Structure formats: structure tokens, C-alpha cells
Structure 1
Amino acid sequence: MQFPAVQAGPARQRRRGLVWGLTCCLLVLLLLGGLYAVAPLRNPPPAPTVELTVPTSMTIPGTAPRLPWPRSGQAMITVNGLGTLGASGGSQPLPIGSVAKVMTAYVILTEHPLDVGEAGPTLTVSAERAAAYPTELARGESLVEVRAGEKLTERQALQALMLPSANNVARVLAEWDAGSEAAFVEKMNATAARLGMTGTRYADSPGLDPDTVSTARDQVILANKAMALPAFAEIVKQKRATLPVAGTVHNYNELVGRNGVVGIKTGSTDEAGGCLVFAAMVTVGGRDVNIVGAVLGQPGANTPVQLDRTFAATRSLLRSTVSALSVHTLVEAGAPVGTVRGPEGTGSTTINAVEKVVVVGWPGLRVRLDAQIPPVPTGIAADTEYGRLAVSGAGELASTPLRAAAGLRPPSVWDRVRHHY
């Protein structure tokens, strides 16, 4: 028996269309969701971020030292790498006397360098320069005896210049280098300008001319530059030297060899008073510390009185400076310097100091902290050295490598899909 075909009614057809529509929508949503989930994988994950946990500067705690500054003239004292401990007397340019010979020696040694212990080229004393000696002596100048045709090595000439403060040898050096005193003085002034010695003007190479003026600040700038020349530093710390005609000559700076003093130069005229640019090497907490300073314009009726007062002022400043210096721990070993945070889902780690950071300084000294952390990759292993922390004042004082405390894993595919990055 055959039954007649049954026609689907309108309601059934509507249900079937609805099912197909829902199925298509679901497929589209699944497709779009898959594309949405996979799309981030086409791009690199976000880089980890670094948040520093140390300050950019720090002040050593305590009361800042008060130094026994001279009552007259000018003074300044600095500690290499740290900066200026203080100054007195303002910044008005003053006559400096034979302290000018520091620049004379500096120009000579920068244009005619010497190694430590090297004699250097030979200079010949001219008949004209030898003939001027009696007149210079009658004027009461600081001199060494010279003779026409005398041969001096560059080192011997510099010893005569810096130890007994020979004005006539300053002129010999100037003429040997530049052809004339005037041409050499131009070099001195050009060098002062290049070094930023804005309050300085040289009128002669020995410093006898009262128009040769400078400031304590400028002379400290020059002294630091000059002491960086090994031959200069070697000569100015000598107590005596032997010259061909003059024989044994002695250093006018009676502080040399005492309390760590290793130079540099005295000066004294009626207009300048007593002057001294000095350098000392002392040990603080097992560390060598270089102190450089200047004392200008100390009064007195004559050179011995002027220099005695200058030496006394310098000794007091040095004692107080050394007393003010001590060792300070700024960052302990293992202290966190920064926090590295990876993309969401991967965690974080700290970057810690490997060693403690210790500096020599004084209370009130402000230093800079510079955490040098390179861009962090997406993953980093635990105990990996990464970056450096440096502490600086006028120069770098101390540093330590940095190390990741824990591992930071790269984000997985699931991390990236789940957090959509």
C-alpha cells in the first residue's frame, strides 16, 4: 500500500531555518573568536617594565663640616671625585705671585711632554738672559744663578721653576717654547680660557707682575689638571734638586713631605701677599684620597711672614678636611635597586646590588645614583648579572654590578591568548 507524501508545514520549515541560522552564527562566532585569539601572536609580546627603587641622589647624613677659613684673602679646598668642600673670600681676581708658574709649567709640559724620570730636550741659557741676572737680583727677584751657554734639560729647568721659584728660568722656558715672553703669555691666557678659568689673566710667565691675577677657584681647576701630568706631579713633590750652575736648590714649599702634602707651588709679592696652591694624598678607611686647594692673599710685612701665615692656614684646612672625611655605606649588598615586571601572567623579579656601595665623603655631601639597567628581554634567568649601579660626585666614586633575584619567564602562547597580548 502506498501512502501519500506528507508536505512539511510552515512551522516545521521555520524551525529548520532557525536551526541553520543559529548553526551559521555559531560557526561565525567560533571563527571570529579564533581569529581574535590568534591575532596577538602575530606581534611580539610587550617588553618587561623596570621600576627603580633607589633614589637618583642621596645626601650623606650628619652635620656639614665647618672649616677654619683664613680671615683674609681667598681659599678653596676640593676632594678629587667628590667636589668642593668649601670656599671663602669671594671670587674677585687677586694677584697670585709665583703661583703663576703652575701655568708656565703646565703649558711647557703639554707642549713638550716628559715621562716620569725623563730628562727631555736641552735648553741653552742665552747671553742676554745671563746678562740680565745681576739686574734681576738687585730687584730682589726669586732666581737661580745662570751663565751664558749653560745647558739645562727640560726637567732641570722645570725643577728650577717650581722648587726655588726661579723667575729667570721662567723667562728661559718661555723664550725656548714661544720665541718671546709675550708670545708665551698669550699661550698661558689661551690655556686658561680653554680650562674655564674665567677670573684669570696672565701678564708674565713668572707671576712678578701684579697684573697677573686669578682666583682660588681657577687655581684649583689648574692644579687638578697639572697634577694629572705624571712628570709635573713628580717634580713638585721633590724637596731638592741639583742644577748645573746653581748646584743644590730647595723647595720653598715647606709643607711638602708632611701630612701627605705632595706639592704644588708657593707665591709671594707685596701685592699678592702669601699664596699657595697645594695637593695632598691621605688615606681614609684604607682608601687613597686626593685633596687639592688654594690659599691666596695672606698678609704680612715680607715673604717669610706671608708664607708662614699661608702655611698655617693650609695646615688647619687640611687637618679639618681629613677629620671631616669618613667611609659611608650608601647601598647594602643585596639591596633591591629596581623591580622588573613582565607582561601580565609572567610575574616579576627584583634587580639587586651584588656588592655594597661604599664611598669616602663628608656629612652633607650630595651624590648621584645612576642605575644603568639595559632593556630587559622577555625572559631572564635567576642570578643573572644585569646592569650596574654607579655613585658619583665630581667623578665616579663607586659602583656595583646588579643581579636578578628570581627568574622571569617568557610569556607562553596560552599567556598571550588568555591575556590578549
Structure 2
Amino acid sequence: MRGPTHMQTVEFARIPPAPSVRQGRRRLPWLLGGLLALLLLGGALYAVAPLRHPLPTPTVELTLPASMTIPGTAPRLPWPRSGQAMISVDGLGTLGTFGGSKPLPIASVTKVMTAYVILAEHPLAAGEQGPELTVSAAHAAAYPAEKARGESLVEVRAGEVITERQALQAIMLPSANNMARILAAWDSGSVAAFVAKMNATADQLGMSGTHYTDPSGLDPDTVSTARDQVILASKAMALPAFAEIVKQKQATLPVAGTVKNYNELVGRNGVVGIKTGSTDEAGGCLVFAAVVNVGGRKLTIIGAVLGQPGASTPVQLDRVFAVTRSLLRSAVAALAVHTLIEAGEQVATVRGPLGTGTTINAAKKIEVVGWRGLRVRLDARIPAVPSRVAAGAEHGQLTVYAGGGKPVGTALRIGTGMELPSTWERIRHHR
């Protein structure tokens, strides 16, 4: 008989079933989607990168030069055949010169400096007579000998009382040598001390070709140049009392009575002064000023003509008057109003970021008074231009300087508007 049977249990390891084809297909889109997301994220980071950097600041490039000349040929003036001459327009500069710069005797033109120094030391308001001078016995006693030498004089008497203005009228109209010496001694105590003041003043004014030896100009060693006398005349005419005196045709003095101005051009063709001079050594000399109207603006022409020949004072002065009249006519004809900048004319180019840009233009035309060939200076003041600016916006100023005269100018305006580049333009530009 068999015994009980014992049964053994055998355990088998569980092997998972292999994935089906259907399950693999479900996972593939997830993998592809993740990869695409990574690619898109990288592309987005690449595209956004340029947006993190600031845009470059717009730059401005001027299209006008720093200076220019009024178009056309410079005027040719009818200069004398001999001597020396210069024509200047106050505030604009020198219109022309002739005869070099050698110092020449200037005769009674010297009295312009005498009057200038007196007025610097003893200023007079317009119309004011000023302090009184008393003619000394010595100065009165010298009169007969001075007259015998043929000097230009006014009669004086010992004890005569004369005002500063009257004394200046005596030296500037009938060109009284004796009154020039009287004024010098009154101011400085002696003629020599006054002459030292004259030379010091000439140095201060930059009159490098000038040397004074007396206050009247009778001494031929008193010398100057046309250029220096134009410098002095311009300064002297800025003094109201001086300008009042030299434009007078006559004046009345206490002893001498009515005296006349030797400058026969005064009161004609705008001439308002200044001083004649004539000696054998100097010839005919004249420093003059004339006021003319050009385009509604008053201009002062100042000139000097030295060394005009002639056998006598009347001939010498006739010669210098004729030369001056001709020069003045030509100078006035040369002056005109010129349009230098047209309204809307481009002054600068603006280059903005990523190819943007615009222009800066003159808001109105700029006109200057001057002559053809005159050099003028241009000064454009343009602030930094933003990347976004509206068309027609005012932006800056253009100023034109003709010589040392009053500047003229205009506002500047933006041409077409300028906008910031779009996001797409920034991205595309980066690529």
C-alpha cells in the first residue's frame, strides 16, 4: 500500500507582457512635442535676446559748413593812385585796403586822438558843455607867432573862458592847432605829458603803426596808417559828444565867433564827420564816417584816405574829397541784403537706430547785410535728438554772424517724424 503523496508547488517568475505596438504609438507624440517645445523655447530666447539691449542713440551730422561766403565776386573799389586808404563797415569788417601799411604823416587828423583822449578823461553827455577852461596869458601871447607861421588857429585872448565842448569844436571844425595845445596842457599839465597819453591810448587800441609827437599834427613826425585811423575813428564815433561835434557844419566860440567845418563832405551823401588834415609832408588826409540805410538797417561806413598830392592845402583837400566821394559811392553800391539760408533748407541729417532717420531744417530764411565775398560764420546749436520725434518739432537754433555785427538766426525744425523701430524690425535686424 502506498503512503500519502506529497505535492510540491513550483512558482514561476512573472514576466511582464511586451508592450503592444499601440502603446508605443501613444508615447511618440509626447516625445516629439517635448522636443518641439525645446526648439521653440530656444528660438524664442534667441529672438528676444536683441530686445534686451538698448537702442543706439541717434546721431546728428551737419550738412552746412562752419563758415561760408556771400556768393559772388568781391567788389572792386576805385582806390587813389597814390597814398593809402581803407574802407570799413562798422560791425561787418574791412571792405578793402590800398597802399600798404607804412606809417605816414597825418597832419590834423591827429586831432581825432586829441579829442578822444580829452573825452576819455573828461566825458561829456550828449549836449553837455562840460567844465570851463581859462586861456592863459602865455597861450594868448603865442597866437601872433603861430599865425605868422601860417598855422590853422582860432583867435584867443588871455583870460578867455571856454567850455570843454567849445574847445573840442575849435579843434575838430576849423582845426585849431593852438586850441589843441591849450587842451593838452589843461588835461595833463604839459603838452609832453598829454602826448604820452596819446601814445599809450594808441597802444591800448592796437594802433601798431601810429606814433604821436604833438597834439595838433603839425609835426611831420606824427605818423599813422589808414588802418589805425579807422580803428580810432570807430571808437571815437561811439562817443555821443564826439559824434555830435564832428557832424556840425559850424559852431560859435566866445572870441573867435562863428567857425566853419573844413570837412565839406559833412551833411552830404550820409557823411557825419570826421576830420581833415593837410600839410606839405602829409598831403591831403581825411578820416570820414557816413551813415547809410541798407534793407532797413543803418550801417556806418568808416574810412581813411591819406597822402593825397597837391601844391597847397585847397588842392590837397579837393583831391582827398574827390577820392572819398568815389569810394563812398562804390562802398554803398556794394552793400545789399543777401539771402544766405532759405526757409526749409536742410541744416543737418539725423541717423536713428536700425535705419531710421530724418532731417533738421531751417524754420525761416536768414538774410544778412553785406557784400559779395564777405565771409560769415554759422553756428548750429542742436540738442540730442530722441529716437521718437514728431515732424515739424522745433529742435535747435541756427545763428549767422557776419563780421562782428549783430547776429541773425532762425529756429530749427525736424523734417519727417521719426519713430522707434518695431519689435519685428529689431528681431529681423539682429538676424
TM-score with structure 1 length normalisation? 0.85
Counting only pairs closer than 5 Å after superposition, residues 72-83 of structure 1 correspond to structure 2 as: 72-83=82-93
Contact residue 344 and residue 364 of structure 2 kept, 8 A: yes
Counting only pairs closer than 5 Å after superposition, residues 258-337 of structure 1 correspond to structure 2 as: 258-337=268-347
- Greater radius of gyration (CA): 2
1:205 aligns to 2:215 (yes or no): yes
SS of structure 2 residue aligned to 1:344: helix
1:372 aligns to 2:372 (yes or no): no
| 2:360 counterpart residue number | 351
1:230-253 CA-partner distances (Å, limit 9, x unpaired)? 221121111111222222111110
SS of structure 2 residue aligned to 1:137: helix
Amino acid at match of 1:368: V
Moved more, 365-374 or 307-316: 365-374
Task: Report the CA distance shift for 1:284/1:22 in structure 2 as closer, same or farther (over 3 A).
Answer: closer
| 1:107 counterpart residue number | 117
Q: CA–CA distance in 2 between the matches of 1:230 and 1:204?
A: 25
| 1:14 counterpart residue number | none
1:116 aligns to 2:121 (yes or no): no
Contact residue 354 and residue 400 of structure 1 kept, 8 A: no
1:63-103 CA-partner distances (Å, limit 9, x unpaired)? 43322211111111122233222222221111000101111
SS of structure 1 residue aligned to 2:353: coil
| 1:15 counterpart residue number | none
Counting only pairs closer than 5 Å after superposition, residues 48-63 of structure 1 correspond to structure 2 as: 48-63=58-73
Q: CA–CA distance in 2 between the matches of 1:187 and 1:288?
A: 33
Q: CA–CA distance in 1 between the matches of 2:44 and 2:188?
A: 89
What is the deviation of 1:324?
A: 2.5
Q: CA–CA distance in 2 between the matches of 1:2 and 1:174?
A: 141
| 2:161 counterpart residue number | 151
Q: CA–CA distance in 1 between the matches of 2:381 and 2:389?
A: 13
Task: Report the CA distance shift for 1:53/1:258 in structure 2 as closer, same or farther (over 3 A).
Answer: same
Task: Report the CA distance shift for 1:31/1:319 in structure 2 as closer, same or farther (over 3 A).
Answer: closer
Task: Report the CA distance shift for 1:177/1:374 in structure 2 as closer, same or farther (over 3 A).
Answer: farther
Determine which of 370, 387, 390 is the counterpart of 1:361.
370
Residue identity over aligned pairs, in percent, reads 67
1:86-129 CA-partner distances (Å, limit 9, x unpaired)? 22222111100010111111112222222221222222222222
1:347-380 CA-partner distances (Å, limit 9, x unpaired)? 33322222222223333x2322413223324254
What is the deviation of 1:323?
A: 2.3
Q: CA–CA distance in 2 between the matches of 1:63 and 1:167?
A: 45
Q: CA–CA distance in 2 between the matches of 1:358 and 1:126?
A: 58
SS of structure 1 residue aligned to 2:184: helix
1:219 aligns to 2:229 (yes or no): yes
Contact residue 59 and residue 385 of structure 2 kept, 8 A: no
Task: Report the CA distance shift for 1:309/1:325 in structure 2 as closer, same or farther (over 3 A).
Answer: same
Counting only pairs closer than 5 Å after superposition, residues 31-42 of structure 1 correspond to structure 2 as: 37-38=51-52, 40-41=53-54
Task: Report the CA distance shift for 1:225/1:344 in structure 2 as closer, same or farther (over 3 A).
Answer: farther
Counting only pairs closer than 5 Å after superposition, residues 386-397 of structure 1 correspond to structure 2 as: 386-396=395-405
Q: CA–CA distance in 1 between the matches of 2:403 and 2:307?
A: 27
Contact residue 391 and residue 397 of structure 1 kept, 8 A: no
| 1:16 counterpart residue number | none
Where in structure 1 are there 5+ consecutive unaligned residues? 7-18
What is the deviation of 1:337?
A: 1.5
Determine which of 408, 419, 431 is the counterpart of 1:399.
408
Determine which of 80, 88, 95 is the counterpart of 1:70.
80
What is the deviation of 1:291?
A: 1.1
Contact residue 135 and residue 182 of structure 2 kept, 8 A: yes
1:132 aligns to 2:149 (yes or no): no
Contact residue 398 and residue 410 of structure 2 kept, 8 A: yes
Contact residue 358 and residue 418 of structure 2 kept, 8 A: no
CA RMSD, 1 decimal: 3.3
